[in-house]
Structures are given as C-alpha cells and as structure tokens.
Amino acid sequence: MTRGAYELPTVAMPLASIDAASALSRLDEFSTVIDARSESEFAEDHLPSAVNWPSLTDVERAEVGTLHKQMSAFDARKRGAGLVAANIARHLEREMADKSKDWAPLVYCWRGGKRSGSLALVLDQIGFRTRVLAGGYREYRRAVVAALETLPAAFAFRVVCGPTGSGKSRLLQAIAAEGAQVLDLEALANHRGSVLGLVPGSSQPSQKAFDTAVWNVLRRLDVTRPVFVESESKKIGDLRVPEALIARMRTSPCIWLELALDRRVQLLLTEYEHFVTDIEAFCGRLDALRELRGREVVGGWQAAARRGEVASVVRDLLVTHYDPIYRQSLRRNFPQVEARSAAALDWDGSVPALVATARRAIADPIEA
C-alpha cells in the first residue's frame, strides 16, 4: 500500500478464499485475475495477467484519507463506500456482457480486505465462482520472494557468455525459436546490461515487477530440461537479479560465444541505432564513464562521435573498456567458462549462422 494512503478497514466476508501459495500454484485455473487496488499500486506490480478494476482510484483514496484525518473514520467510510459502489457498478457495466455463469475470477487487493471483498461479494452474489486471495497482494509478494529463494535450484542452467556485441541476446532468441527453454533477464528488465543499455524514452519496471516477471517465467519451465540464460551481473541497470538465481547461474556450465571484432562493432551499431541517430544522447550516456576512464578519454570519445566517427568510438569502447572488464568479471563470477573450452561457439553474424549456432548450443551435451 502506498505510504500514507487510506485503506478501508478489513471486514470478514463470507466468501471463498485461497491462500497465496495455493493461488500461485493454480494461477492459470482462474478465468480472470482481478486487481482491485488503485492504478498506481497496479502499475508498480501485480499478479501475472491481472486486470485492474480499482475499487478506489488514487485520487479517491487520497480524498477518503483526507476525510479520515480531518473529519472522522465514519465520514471516511461513508464516502469510501459510495465511491466503491459506483466504481464496481462501472466495472460490471463494462465487463459483464460476455461473462458466462462458469466464469471463475480471483480477486485481490492490498491485504485481502474491503476493496477486494466488496467487489468479490457482488460477483459472488451474481453467481460467479469467485475466490478472494487471502492476505491480498502483500501475501502474494511474500510468496514470490520465497519462491525465488528456492525455485532456481531446481533448474539446470546453461550460461551463454561472450564479449559485448557478440550476439548473446540474439542467440537466446534463436535458441528459444528452436524450442529450447530460455530465461531472457535483459528482456524482462528492459535493459541491455551496460551503461548504454537503457533505450532512451523507455524505463525499467519496478523491482517488484521484475521479480514477478522472473518468477512467472521460471514457474512455467520444465525442470527436466536445461534453461539457457545470459551471463549477467548482480544488477541489470537499476534492478537486482534474485540472489538465489545469480548464485545458481554462477555454478552452471558455460557456453562461450565468439564473433569477430569488426562484426561486433557492426552488430552494436545496428542494435543501438538510436545512439547513431542521436549523437548527443550517446555522448550524454558516455558521461557515466568519466570517473572510471577519465575526462580526457571520455571527452575524446565524445568529440569523435560528434565528428561522425561512431564506429571507431564503439570499437575503442570494446577494446579498452568493455572487453577487459567483462573478462575480469567473468573469471571471477563464472569459473566454469574456463573449464568448457569445447563449448565455444563461433559465428559470422549472419542469420543462417545464428540458427546453426543455436542448434549447436542446444545439442551440446554439457552437464552441470
């Protein structure tokens, strides 16, 4: 719940409820998962595939909270009840036309109280097989955090390693296209894992939403089959990779992906085209390297980029910055990369070669 926001008091309701652990294991059985919290709470994180039917909007919660502070709890409850009833009526008018009597929703709010209970009571009285998530989002969040502490140990990961620009993300996509299991952490984090990794104009999800996304992928994977994942650090942009997952990855067999330097430069120019077309955005992002590389070096890169020499800047970044840091980090955090030289994969940057490389990666019988 947003700090300082007003929450209607919890009232015991004669409705069928389900605990968070059971709900997580049976999530796909519900016809619809309905989040009765406000739009900002929903935006921060929500159950997978949930839809937002706010019992109180952000503005309404603030209004009711103000009444509670300045008038009385009774006045706040009166106003809140009216707003909730009006919102539920609008939701029903908008959503009920195509719902059959077999529709079986799961409803939740922050802690399984009045907001979800009010909506669920109406749905239950209509005749729908409605369940309320006991403890609400708060218990769901605790269950996800607990699952992320144990779930990674069940999987056999194959870690795709390789220097920046070698095509690790493309290889994961090709592996997935071939039917193998993939956990693409950078896609889930909306970040490519470097100082240049955030696409201008976009943003990363919240930490809670990222955790939910990781859990939602893992829960659907087959523990009897390997899972391919990229060699990530503990953080992807501003987001932390779950500790148990990163620990499991770091003890897993590695695959080394190699691509010639000139082709790596071209691949990066293609993938980061937004920086090629917006030089000032590129130069602005390079500012983050001043402390590590020095003002003179970074200033030289920026001047070269403004002269149109972006390819040479990218090449120098790879040779003098990314490659040394990556190899040092890899030796420290993924020791099995040295033990599996036979798993090295070399490709030429073409689509047919990428597909062939993906098939080789899948066929390699490396064991944990």
Q: Specify the CATH architecture of the domain 155-363.
A: 3-Layer(aba) Sandwich (3.40)
φ and ψ of 131, to 5 deg: -120, 145
pLDDT at residue 365 in the model: 64
pLDDT at residue 202 in the model: 84
Residue with token string 């493309």: 170
This prediction has a pTM of 0.90
End-to-end Cα spacing for the chain = 42
pLDDT at residue 10 in the model: 47
Show Cβ contacts of residue 34 under 8 Å, excluding neighbours closer than 6 positions. Answer: 50, 51, 53, 105, 106, 107, 108, 116, 119
Written as tens digits, the pLDDT of the chain (368 aa) is 444 455 544 444 457 899 999 999 999 999 999 999 999 999 999 999 999 999 999 999 999 999 989 999 898 889 989 999 999 999 999 999 999 999 999 999 999 788 999 999 999 999 999 999 999 999 999 999 999 999 999 999 999 999 999 999 999 999 999 999 999 999 999 998 777 777 777 899 999 999 999 999 999 999 999 999 999 999 999 999 999 999 999 999 999 999 999 999 999 999 888 888 899 989 998 998 998 899 999 999 999 999 999 999 999 999 999 999 998 999 899 988 876 544 678 899 999 999 999 999 999 766 54
pLDDT at residue 338 in the model: 76
Give exposure, 268-280, as e/b (b: 16+ Cβ within 10 Å).
beeebeebbeebe
pLDDT at residue 367 in the model: 56
Q: How far apart are CA 30 and CA 244, in angstroms?
A: 29
* Domains of the chain by residue range: 17-146, 155-363
109 labelled catalytic: yes
pLDDT at residue 100 in the model: 94
Q: How far apart are CA 83 and CA 36, in angstroms?
A: 13
Q: How far from chain centre, in Å, is Cα 219? A: 14
pLDDT at residue 12 in the model: 46
Report CA-CA distances (Å) from 294 to 197, 231, 290. Answer: 21, 27, 5
- Of 109, 161, 254, 283, which one is the catalytic site residue? 109
Report CA-CA distances (Å) from 28 to 124, 182, 276. Answer: 20, 21, 43
> The CATH number of 17-146 is which of 3.40.50.10470, 3.40.250.10, 2.60.40.1260, 3.30.1300.10?
3.40.250.10
pLDDT 10s digits, 315-360: 999 999 999 999 899 989 998 887 654 467 889 999 999 999 999 9
pLDDT at residue 7 in the model: 55
AA identity, residue 163: P
DSSP alpha helix (H) spans, 96-197: 114-126, 136-150, 168-177, 185-189
